[in-house]
Amino acid sequence: MCKATGRAWPGQTSYSIPAPMTVLHYQLHVLYSIVVSLLALLSFCPSYLSLGAAQLLPIAGLNGSTSASSSQLQTYIVHLRKPAHMVSASPSELEVWHRSFLPTPSLDSGEPRMVYSYGRAISGFAAKLTPEEVDAMAAKEGFLLAHPDEPLVFETSWVPYFLRLSTADSGLWNLTNFAKTIVVAVIDSGINPSHSSFVDTYIPSPPSKWKGRCDLRSPNKCNNKIIGARNFDSAGPGAEPLDNNGHGTFVASVVGSNIVPNANVNGLAEGSAAGISAGAHLAIYRADSASGLIASFDEAIRDGADVITVSVSLPEGRFYSNDLAIAALSAAESRLFVSCAAGNGGPHRSSVRNGAPWVLTVGASTIDRALRVFLDLGNGEKFTGESLERTGQVPTQQLNLVFPGDGSNMLRTCSAPLTGVTGMAVVCQSDPASISPQEQGENVRNSMGAAMILMNSQLNGSTLILEDNVLPTVAITHDDSQRILNYVRTAGGRATVTMRAEGTIYSVSPQPTVASISGRGPSRVNGGILKPDVIGPGVNIIGASSQSSNGFVMMSGTSVSAPMLASIGAMLKVTHPAWSPAAIRSAIMTTSNHLNNARAPIVDQTGGPAGAFAIGAGHVHPLRANDPGLVYDIQPEDYIRYLCGLPGYTQREVDAVARRSVDCASEGRISAEELNYPSIAVALSGVRKTVTRTVRNEGPGRSTYMAEVEGMLAEMGVEVNPDVLNFMEEGEEQSFTVTFSIANPMEFRGQVYEGQLKWVATTSLHVVRSPLVVTVP
Ligand SMILES: *[C@@H]1O[C@H](CO)[C@@H](O)[C@H](O)[C@H]1NC(C)=O
Ligand SMILES: *[C@@H]1O[C@H](CO)[C@@H](O)[C@H](O)[C@H]1NC(C)=O
Ligand SMILES: *[C@@H]1O[C@H](CO)[C@@H](O)[C@H](O)[C@H]1NC(C)=O
């Protein structure tokens, strides 16, 4: 098979991958490349889609730069409009058609141009082309648009901390029957298949519909847990999708680890988070660029996966320029539930990624577990911080406490050598833009400091993201740091601290909170649909390590929360096989918590209410999601009508996203506000606006629901009509309208009103809640 030239792993600069592993991998890669180059010279290298395993050969290692124009060569993703006779073409017929767009089958070097011919995820292909060749191609009948391949962003923010747990001391394993028939596709950086999380004890054989392939080779092989493994990064199809990054193994273990260290993972209020779909089968697809991501979606859909988890993103452009969004629409049309990371761009406004309405967009929350260290100051004040150091490693004797920093930025952040700190606890300001916590730790250690107290930046506020460090390090919130600094300054060189590690504690209050880094709405590209949809545990979570068979690491980011929600989606697929992906999302959203464990609105890193642009509907509540009462469903054709209604899209752009010719005039257009979404977000430019929603009864046949609206300010009128819904049977649908009105919009320009619409059952305990967001533009 033919695959693009290599690309550096994106977003990886702060990861520490041990050198031996990298070198070994590199040597294997070079060896493999040489073998493969020889084989490639002997073969004509057609697309992977129409070939069996033995012929799938990567050509990495061939030197493609032999002609003058080839300096401009790059992989382009080309979107095509299928002519009517191609609509149900086979993959090989499609590939012949795709090849007809290429100026020549191969480059001067002999390297084939075609990288991937796609069957489903987009209508089109990836090929090596120059910009001039793309321009020439644009004149051909059927060409829609093309853009260069681009690297995926891995949505993690962490330096792995190795917990050195072994399966033997991880407590009780509890295998549930949940999700045993479900296949979850993990599109990420590959897998460490020898990790104990992926043993297949008690897991049945793959479902009969499974058509996927396994490219793991001895001693690693697929089993009933990992049932598929494919490679779509620069090493090419056929390569072994092993994980030399750490991200993919972690994500796979969060979504469907067979072994749950209950003692250490307590991500969700109602029991263990990781392993909620402990019985699910995993299908691994390794990708690092858009072209490989599309190939992964293509395969996952064809292979018969039920759920796809995506902890990567592409730049959040309009949908026709975002291949992840397009491929995910194809997956949704094939009834796959797609859970995506909301990105780690928070807390900045409109930092949300993966905001298409056909995916579940998941933000990250902190959990009710803390690795707590008490700090007793010499003046009697007490603070709590968090540390990865276990009891025994944090010094227990009273230490002098110093802040080297007043006056100098370098000293404040402990980025210069420090004097006079021997044996002391050193307070350092975190400043990730200029220095990593690990470098700060090294400076403190080299200056003979005994421990570091790391002050959180103001932006990260009270979100404490724990990372491994070279000396005992206690992270403290920004607010606490200001009070501790006051003490250090007034104590005139006589400040002291005594640290007491309390180990893991549970039921931290108030929880959950929104992690500072979690991507925030409003989305700039989806026409105003509220995103993220929900938040789920994503800070300081434990999962499988890529570097040993028993090691666990701690990781943070929306990369972690997306697979949590994928596993909940997998569970709902088992309990409600008839539900569409939109119905599953509705169940998750309308049953989530918008209040924390203190019954107050969920707060963000500032300690203030987080709001709908941070939490979406709220924090996931898996057990309630299983029994939502009512669901807001959406059919694939509704998404097309929504696309037709998005302002500014040309016919080509709609066709590229829909992967077919769309006649918007006959298929219809709806505004984003009218999509039957479980949240309601409207822009109120006049004095009133009405939107319609339809709910389906998934609860007891005879049931009555009454509308309640909460949280809106007096000047914003909200009227629900009808405000009572009577259902006679299960599956029955009823529609209602919600009218927002304001007497004088000019007076309230720029205001954002948030509230809740609840359908409260009078005949059962169901409460079906939708967030309401009204913006007065
Ligand atoms: C490819 O070939 C060119 C010209 O012969 C040479 O300068 C370049 O170093 C080669 N690149 C690789 C990666 O071998
Ligand atoms: C295992 O899970 C089942 C069902 O989810 C639960 O009833 C049981 O108490 C659990 N057992 C242990 C030891 O955690
Ligand atoms: C917030 O925390 C994350 C994770 O540690 C880090 O990557 C980011 O740089 C921090 N931002 C600021 C401004 O401190």
- Of 79, 170, 188, 533, the active-site residue reads 188
Same domain, 691 and 706: yes
Q: Which amino acid is at 95?
A: E
Same domain, 490 and 556: no
Q: How far is CA 13 from CA 10, 98, 159, 539, 764, in A?
A: 8, 37, 10, 20, 52
17, part of any domain? no
Give the SS3 label for residue 628. Answer: coil
Same domain, 498 and 544: no
Q: What is the pLDDT of residue 507?
A: 64
For CA atoms 556, 559, 560, 561, the dihedral sign is positive
Same domain, 229 and 306: yes
Where among 631, 653, 669 does a domain terminate?
A: 631
Q: How far is CA 594 from CA 502, 619, 686, 775, in A?
A: 30, 6, 29, 20
673, part of any domain? no
Q: What is the pLDDT of residue 574?
A: 84
- Who contacts 652 (Cβ-Cβ below 8 Å, separation ≥6)? 81, 144, 145, 320
Cβ pair 767, 605 in contact under 8 A:
no
Pocket of ligand 2, beta carbon within 6 A: 172, 174, 176
Same domain, 626 and 683: no
316, part of any domain? yes
User: Looking at residues 505-519, what average pLDDT do you find?
Assistant: 85
Encode pLDDT of 19-54 as tens digits. 222 222 332 333 333 333 323 322 322 232 222 222
* Range in 252-256, 558-562, 596-600 with the lowest mean pLDDT: 252-256
Q: What is the pLDDT of residue 389?
A: 67
417, part of any domain? yes
11, part of any domain? no
Atom of ligand 3 nearest to the CA of 437: 5
Residue 714's CATH number:
2.60.40.2310
Same domain, 710 and 615: no
757, part of any domain? yes
Where among 83, 114, 140 does a domain terminate?
A: 140
- Supply 515's token pair: 């992690």
Cβ pair 282, 256 in contact under 8 A:
yes
Q: What is the pLDDT of residue 544?
A: 84
**Angle (CA) 255 259 264, round 5°:** 90
Instruction: Give, for ligand 3, the residue of 154, 516, 518 to mutate: max count of ligand atoms closer than 8 Å to Cβ.
Output: 516
- CA neighbor of 562 nearest in space, from 273, 303, 287, 757: 273
Same domain, 135 and 259: no
- Of 79, 195, 247, 619, the active-site residue reads 247
Residue 8 has pLDDT above 50, yes or no: no
Cβ pair 622, 568 in contact under 8 A:
yes
Cis peptide before 219 (omega within 30 of 0): yes
207, part of any domain? yes
- CA neighbor of 307 nearest in space, from 209, 207, 184: 184
Instruction: Give, for ligand 1, the residue of 63, 108, 109 to mutate: max count of ligand atoms closer than 8 Å to Cβ.
Output: 63
Expressed as residue numbers, the domain containing 758 is 679-775
| pLDDT confidence tier of residue 369, bands split at 50, 70 and 90 | low
Q: Maximum Cα–Cα distance for the chain, whole Å?
A: 84
- Of 196, 313, 339, 559, the active-site residue reads 559
Q: Which ligand has the shortest distance to the CA of 178?
A: 2
| pLDDT confidence tier of residue 230, bands split at 50, 70 and 90 | very high
SS3 sequence, 738-756?
EEEEECCHHHHCCCEEEEE
Same domain, 306 and 430: no
Atom of ligand 3 nearest to the CA of 516: 1
Same domain, 403 and 488: yes
Residue 542's CATH number:
3.40.50.200
Q: What is the pLDDT of residue 260?
A: 44
R_g of the chain computed on alpha carbons: 27
Atom 14 of ligand 1 has which residue's CA nearest to it?
Answer: 63
User: Looking at residues 384-393, what average pLDDT do you find?
Assistant: 74
Same domain, 35 and 134: yes
Q: Count Cβ neighbours within 10 Å for each residue of 372-391 and write b for 16 or more, e otherwise.
A: bbbbebbeeeebbbbbbbee
* pTM of the predicted protein model: 0.85
425, part of any domain? yes
Same domain, 447 and 591: no
More confident residue, 277 or 432: 432
Same domain, 457 and 606: no
What whole-number distance in Å separates Cα of residue 361 and Cα of residue 341? 6
Residue 434's CATH number:
3.50.30.30
Pocket of ligand 3, beta carbon within 6 A: 157, 430, 432, 457, 459-460, 465, 516-517
User: Looking at residues 380-387, what average pLDDT do you find?
Assistant: 93
188 is catalytic: yes
Cβ pair 21, 245 in contact under 8 A:
no
Atom of ligand 2 nearest to the CA of 262: 14
What is the spatial order of strands in the sheet that 733-742 belongs to?
A: 630-631, 688-697, 733-742, 716-721
| pLDDT confidence tier of residue 566, bands split at 50, 70 and 90 | very high
Domain count, the chain: 4
Encode pLDDT of 75-95 as tens digits. 999 999 998 888 889 999 999
More confident residue, 347 or 371: 347
More confident residue, 31 or 406: 406
Q: Which amino acid is at 480?
A: D
